[in-house]
A = this chain, B = another copy of it.
Amino acid sequence: MELPAPEQLKQSLYVPNKTLMGPGPSNCTQRVLDSLSNPVLGHMHPECFEIMDDIKAGVKYLFQTKNTATMCISGSGHAGMETAFVNLVEDGDVVLLACTGLWGYRAAEMVKRLNGDVRYVESRFGHALSLKEIEFAFEGHKPQVFFIAQGDSSTGILQPQLKEIGELCEKYKCLFVVDTVASLGGVEFLMDAWKVDMAYTGSQKVLGAPAGITPVSFSDRAIARIKARKSYVKSYYFDALLVGQYWNCFDTPRIYHHTISSTLLYGLREALAQFCALGRKNVIHRHQECSHRLQCGVEEIGLEMFVVKANDRLPTVNTIKVPAGVEWQKVSQYAMRKYKLEISGGLGPTAEQVFRIGLMGANATYERVDLVLNILHEAIQSTKFVEKSKI
């Protein structure tokens, strides 16, 4: 009655080499890919701890923070989001979620499960939120926690004025949580100066490391709030005080919390090393220049950006309106089939309505911008031609 071994595992693994210019993951550099083949290390070996210390230093630089509670979660960006709420929210806490696209609603799915009291402040379609709108919502809801995505990858909206929002949070004695998954490294972010209490980012976007390990940081205020909780943090795996002990963030001995993936540590360490070597400001500047070139090119080929104001546009994930009469899926399929190039469609509120073009990390170069513009143009023309020839 033994179930047999599956036939399909007799084939060898084949992985195509694609140019990943959707909203992420982006391509890793060869240095990062090479690092992944290093032998594995034990999760309590001193060499592993040293790599974790390197990463912690790199993440502090990345976030521009001195927070001792800076660490990584062994999971994807969604795990970073869950780590924010499971630690900071208790039953009945009012959590105000800013929605400039999908991510505020995704956060709601987590907060509801934790018995948080979810409130929303929603931007007009295609716009960032104004400070007035946010302050009005603070007045009405008196939240304990405020969440916003600096860059919403579903709409390509960049939320400006995080510094001013940080001041609002301080005024209303509210913890300030910022999702920087899609934005960090592409725009300015100053965790300490802007009084952000919890931030997380993605490894697989601007950094160009593999997914599966997620940098997070908690302010001292956030840690104090966690220590003052009346109830348990509902997750062991995401408990910031335990994960932080493993990452040697506090004045306590390191504990064995879970078996970290040394493989993912290697990739993230090398990606951070490359980021540091280039310099934070240079990387941000390069991403902005690339997005500017893309936006000019989009106009030249007769297309239109989705986000109304230029200042509200995220340089890392660029959203372009799908022109009337064009099926986005055919364009995307054409680019992939002919050039192994990823151009994505919309997500959530922008589904069917936009193309999303990622300019992140190794793909934030003028060459890649020109490549993606040429292919996008060609793909749109070719699908139009097919449509006409069918008639």
Query: Per-position contact with B for A338-349: 1 when CB-CB < 8 Å, else 0?
Result: 000010000100
Q: Say yes or no: B258 contacts A78, CB within 8 Å.
A: yes
Whether the pair B28, A39 counts as a contact (CB closer than 8 A) is yes
Tell me which of B10, B237, B347 contacts A78 (CB under 8 A): B237
Digit string of A56-82 for contact with B (CB within 8 Å is 1, else 0)? Answer: 011011001110000000111111001
Residues of B contacting A57 with CB < 8 Å?
6, 8-9
Choose among B13, B42, B113, B277 the residue that contacts A232 (Cβ–Cβ < 8 A).
B113
What B residues does A157 contact at CB under 8 A? none
Picked from B37, B113, B237, the residue with its CB within 8 Å of the CB of A33 is: B37
Closest Cβ of chain B: how far from A275's Cβ, in Å?
Answer: 8
**Complex interface: chain B residues within 8 A of A213 (CB):** 212
Inter-subunit contact B27/A13 (CB<8 Å): no
A28-B39, A36-B263 as given contacts; A237 in contact with B75, CB under 8 Å:
yes
Interface residues of A in 110-163 (CB under 8 A from B): 110, 112-114
Contacts of A276 in B (CB 8 A): 5-6, 9-10
Closest to A214 in B: B259
Nearest-Cβ distance from residue A133 to partner chain B, whole angstroms: 27
Chain B contacts for A54, CB-based, 8 A: 6, 8-9
Is B266 in contact with A264, judged by CB distance below 8 angstroms? no
Question: Are B263 and A43 in contact, with the CB atoms below 8 A?
Answer: no
Q: Chain B residues near A33 (CB, 8 Å)?
A: 37-39
Binary interface encoding of chain A residues 281-314 relative to chain B, with 1 for a CB under 8 A from any of its CBs, else 0? 1000000000000000000000000000000000
* A325 contacts chain B at the CB level, 8 A cutoff: no
A164 at the interface (CB under 8 A from B): no
**Which A186-226 residues have C-beta < 8 A from chain B?**
193, 202, 204, 210-213
Set of chain B residues within 8 Å of A269, measured between Cβ atoms: 9, 13
> A258 with B76: in contact, given A13-B269, A54-B9, A61-B4 (CB under 8 Å)?
yes
The total of chain A residues at the interface (CB under 8 A) is 95
Q: Please report the C-alpha to C-alpha distance between residue A331 and residue B26 in the assembled complex, in whole angstroms.
A: 45
CB distance from A67 to the nearest CB of B (A): 11
Which residues of B are found within 8 Å of A173, using beta-carbon distances? none
Contact string against B for A residues 90-121, beta-carbon threshold 8 Å, 1 for contact and 0 otherwise: 00000000000000001001101110000000
Interfacial chain B residues near A18, Cβ < 8 Å: 39, 41-42, 45
CA distance A276 to B155 in the complex (A): 44
B235 A113 Cβ-Cβ under 8 A: yes
Q: Which of B13, B28, B261 is A40 in contact with, Cβ under 8 Å?
A: B28
Task: Supply 19 A–B pairs (Cβ within 8 Å), ascending by A.
Answer: A1-B193, A2-B280, A3-B61, A5-B280, A6-B54, A9-B269, A9-B273, A10-B273, A13-B35, A13-B38, A25-B40, A25-B43, A27-B40, A33-B39, A36-B36, A78-B237, A78-B257, A106-B236, A263-B263
Which residues of A are at the interface with B, using a C-beta cutoff of 8 A?
Answer: 1-6, 8-10, 12-18, 20, 22, 24-25, 27-28, 33-43, 45, 47, 51, 53-54, 57-58, 60-61, 64-66, 74-79, 82, 86, 106, 109-110, 112-114, 193, 202, 204, 210-213, 232-238, 256-264, 266-267, 269-270, 272-273, 276-277, 279-281, 342, 347
